[in-house]
């Protein structure tokens, strides 16, 4: 195997991960000096059991067709097996034979071969997961996920990874992971256009990175505006006794980043409410919408001529009266908070892929509304764009 981590010795064969493609390479090991030309060939055989009682078996040449790719024909010594071959044959074994044909002045035509026997690593099975409660308030309600009775036939369960996504938005947002199947977290507000629903799922992963996805029941998460305003006040005052201080300063890196994402999404939702309210009050068509939490199919910089063109996606938003002066005051307040939150991630340690994903998701949310970014926030944001990240709007 080209990458040893993709093939794990097990009994008299190699276990391969059905969740990813497999790359196999071959080479001429001996008798390859002074050769005039060399050609390679891969053959794949499938194991057939003729009689279980008499332990009779036979290897049959397998017609793999579009399930593999061989570099540049006979001159390539690399074979790629697509994951569909393993996923469509989870209980079968395969033998990959590598044949080398050489032509030399001294020995003429010579043939040599080597082979690998592959079996599919079974993904975790037989378990279930549940989440409670099924509804709550963003950044306030603590949701608990429990996974039980999962097992693995040819290994062990290594970890559980937790994700959410939204209607009309295929991007998955990482919540975190655990090794025991138990997980607690706050959740951001669900999309207004889908009554606050959030889809939650768990990826159960074994020691060879084969996984099973378990979809939980959708939960409804809405925003309590008074709680959100209190959150803003706590961020600005930064009191050591506040809940914000505990979430950001007294948590580990991943927990702090999760809380930052929730706070950024709350800011985006408050911004959206104020913008729609100002459109309603003054029929101001020069305002554009921010994205929030679940990215919508509405372009960020789209100009709306009237409120009716906005309503289909945001029917559940509460409209309040607001003047242009009040809007600017609130916008400046949110700008200050965004600057403060962006500056906070400078002190958060980035130590694994999970924390990188969380930092990326946070930067995408906190910069979703370009009109609420101060110059300092923009500079800080650029200084933190040295990791893989989500698309940044501005």
| Ordered mean pLDDT values, 10 residues apiece, the chain (394 residues) | 80 84 84 78 86 74 79 76 88 90 80 89 93 89 95 90 82 82 87 87 90 94 74 72 68 73 79 75 45 35 38 38 77 86 75 72 82 71 50 50
3-class secondary-structure state, position 219: strand
Classified as helix, coil or strand, 234 is helix
Place of tokens 């959030």: 198
Domain hosting 165: range is 128-222
Residues 180 and 230 in one domain: no
3-state secondary structure of 254: helix
DSSP, res 218 = P
Query: What pLDDT, on a 0 to 100 scale, did the predictor assign at position 52?
Result: 64
Query: Domain tally for the chain?
Result: 3
CA–CA gap between residue 88 and residue 104 (Å, rounded): 42
pLDDT of residue 218: 94
Together in a domain, 114 and 54: yes
* Cα-based distances in Å from 165 to 170, 174, 197, 303: 7, 9, 9, 27
**Shared domain check, 333 and 292:** yes
Question: Quick check: helix, strand or coil at residue 365?
Answer: helix
| Residues 270 and 367 placed together within one structural domain of the fold | yes
Looking at the structure, tell me whether residues 167 and 102 fall in a common domain: no
- From 120, 152, 181, the end of a domain falls on 120
Instruction: Say if residue 349 is in the same domain as residue 233.
Output: yes
The pTM for the full model equals: 0.64
Residue 338: its pLDDT value, please? Answer: 87
Residue that terminates a domain, selected from 196, 222, 248: 222
Question: Residue 215 belongs to a domain with what CATH number?
Answer: 2.60.40.10
Scan for tokens 């007294």, then name that residue.
Answer: 250
CATH number for the domain including 53? 2.60.40
Q: What is the pLDDT of residue 72?
A: 60
229 shares a domain with 162: no
Do 287 and 374 reside in the same domain of the chain? yes
Render 9-76 in DSSP notation, one character per residue: EETTEEEE-TTS-EEEE----SS-TTEEEEEEEEEEEEEEEEETTTTEEEEEE---GGGEEETTGGG-
Q: What is the pLDDT of residue 132?
A: 96
Query: Rounded to 5 degrees, what angle do the CA atoms 324, 327, 331 make?
Result: 140
Domain end: 99, 120, 141, which one?
120
């Amino acid at each position: 195997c080209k990458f040893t981590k993709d093939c794990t010795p097990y009994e008299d064969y190699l276990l391969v991960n059905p969740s990813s493609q497999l790359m196999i390479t071959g080479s001429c090991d001996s008798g390859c000096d002074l050769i005039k030309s060399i050609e390679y060939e891969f053959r794949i055989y499938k194991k057939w059991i003729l009689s279980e009682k008499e332990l009779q078996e036979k290897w049959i040449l397998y017609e793999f067709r579009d399930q593999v790719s061989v570099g540049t024909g006979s001159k390539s010594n690399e074979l790629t097996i697509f994951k569909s071959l393993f996923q469509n044959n989870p209980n079968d074994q395969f033998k990959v034979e590598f044949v080398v044909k050489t032509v030399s002045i001294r020995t003429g035509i010579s043939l040599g071969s080597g082979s690998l026997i592959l079996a599919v690593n079974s993904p975790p099975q037989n378990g279930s997961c549940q989440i409670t409660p099924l509804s709550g308030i963003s950044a306030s309600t603590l949701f608990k996920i429990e996974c039980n009775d999962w097992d693995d036939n040819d290994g062990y369960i290594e970890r559980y990874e937790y994700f959410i996504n939204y209607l009309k938005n295929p991007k998955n947002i990482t919540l975190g992971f655990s090794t025991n199947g138990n997980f607690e977290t706050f959740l951001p507000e669900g999309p207004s256009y889908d009554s606050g629903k959030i889809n939650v799922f768990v990826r159960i992963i074994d020691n060879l990175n084969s996984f099973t996805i378990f979809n939980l029941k959708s939960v409804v998460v809405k925003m309590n505006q008074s709680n959100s305003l209190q959150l803003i006040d706590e961020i600005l005052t930064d009191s050591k006794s506040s809940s914000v201080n505990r979430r950001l300063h007294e948590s580990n890196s991943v927990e702090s980043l999760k809380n930052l994402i929730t706070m950024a999404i709350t800011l985006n939702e408050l911004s959206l409410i104020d913008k729609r309210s100002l459109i309603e009050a003054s029929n101001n068509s020069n305002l554009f919408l921010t994205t929030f939490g679940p990215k919508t199919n509405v372009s960020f910089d789209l100009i709306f001529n009237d409120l009716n063109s906005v309503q289909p996606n945001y029917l559940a938003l509460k409209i309040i009266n607001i003047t242009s002066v009040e809007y600017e005051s609130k916008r400046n307040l949110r700008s200050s908070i965004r600057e403060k939150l962006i500056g906070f991630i400078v002190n958060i340690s980035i130590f694994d892929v999970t924390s990188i994903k969380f930092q990326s998701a946070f930067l995408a949310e906190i910069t979703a509304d370009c009109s609420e970014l101060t110059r300092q926030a923009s500079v800080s944001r650029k200084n933190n764009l040295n990791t893989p990240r989500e698309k940044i709007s501005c």
